[in-house]
Structure 1
Amino acid sequence: MRLGIIGGFGPETTAQFYMSIVNRSRKARAHPDIIIHNVPVPFELEKSAVKHGKCLEQFLPLLLDSVRLLEDRCDVLVLPCNTLHIFIEDIRKASDKPVLSILEETSKEVERRKIRRAGLLATTKTAESGILESKLASVSVLKPPEERQARLSEIIHFILQGKMSAGMKNELIGIIKELEERGAQGIILGCTDLQLVIGQRDVSIPIIDTMEILANSAVQHMGGTNG
């Protein structure tokens, strides 16, 4: 079974997502069959979307072009970007192939872990849209206050530019600790780029890494073997 990845949001995360799938398939008979389309996102559009939550509608034609490119060559599609899952139903309508949802797969993992109060680290657009909460009916989602949320989106933009610093990583840890103090039982990395700089190794509270969750689901859907 061939997997199609709608990638480029950002490119480094797409590469990490690909390698996560490859590593999870080590016990299979062969390397996984994957096609990646790195969507050519204009830098200014990326900045407007991540930092300010604007111009998201301009991503939809890019996503649909990617679907058209991949669907005739692939058996299942994935989009390793939380924010752009505001268009998941548009993508599904445009394709006859199954499209896995990072939101749906993450909600299953949160339920599996029996987390009832989860902190959310995500772009401002993801946080404000409520797309994740819509899948977590029995979970209370805690978000950073407005100023911290704005800074979080700024940090995500720096990550996309490859300009992450130790100071920014410490800021992320500080936001996580604040959410934990407010009662969070786990932290959802609701932006796939965040896993590039922070993970379970950095904090004691359980981390729900949406990128790894989607990678695991993709391997299972392809009939591969985790390991």
Structure 2
Amino acid sequence: MTTNRLLLAAVASVVVYGLGDLASGMLYDGYSYRDQWISELSAFGSPVRSLMVTAILVHGLLLIAFGIGIWRFADRKSLHWVGPLLIVAGVIGLPTHTVFAMSSRWMTAGFNDTMHASLSLAFGLVVFVAVALSAVAYPGWFRLYAIATLPILVGFGAASSVAIQGIEQNFTPWAGAFERINAYAYFAWLVVLAVTVHRSLNRNGGSTWRNDGDGGCNPKSGSRSPRTG
């Protein structure tokens, strides 16, 4: 795998999700990007469920591919753990919006809604740890960027969860806006991480990853060096 493909997987995952969010919201009559969750696009009973679920599934598979690339060929030890976390995030996202999608707000809540909330929380925790570990991997401007992303994820994620509490009364002002700030801050981090890794690995060994003594992969031998600690 080349660093160009790594970058492409990350960017494509974000673009696919963003286009799915935009198109589904436009086709959903009466939908409010500001006041309704993204999950309501893929919810049971949503008229655009198939479109948004397709976008989310493609996004998830691309995210898993990106995570595998990071995991196998990361040039820094802390970054090596970001890969499995992204894989886990991608795997969690698949049932969250398919088997355990939330119910539309006009439907009676069920077990699927409980599971959807639980999986969404798990996804958020995994992403938080991944962002934190990426800050450890790269000092300088990227570290500051990753650290600055963390309170955005926590703050707007919490604000969205509070705003959605009025869903039974069909009154959820700014729930969608808060969630989208949370989601797209995470997506921006994904792209910036991919660009940063791409540049770092290219400086170290051209267009394919190499071993720098911290558990990376040497393209000449294809073997992984022993890890310590």
TM-score calculated relative to the size of structure 1: 0.32
Q: Higher strand proportion, which one? A: 1
Q: Which has the higher contact order (CA 8 A, sep 6+)?
A: 1
Larger Rg: 2
Q: Higher helix proportion, which one? A: 2
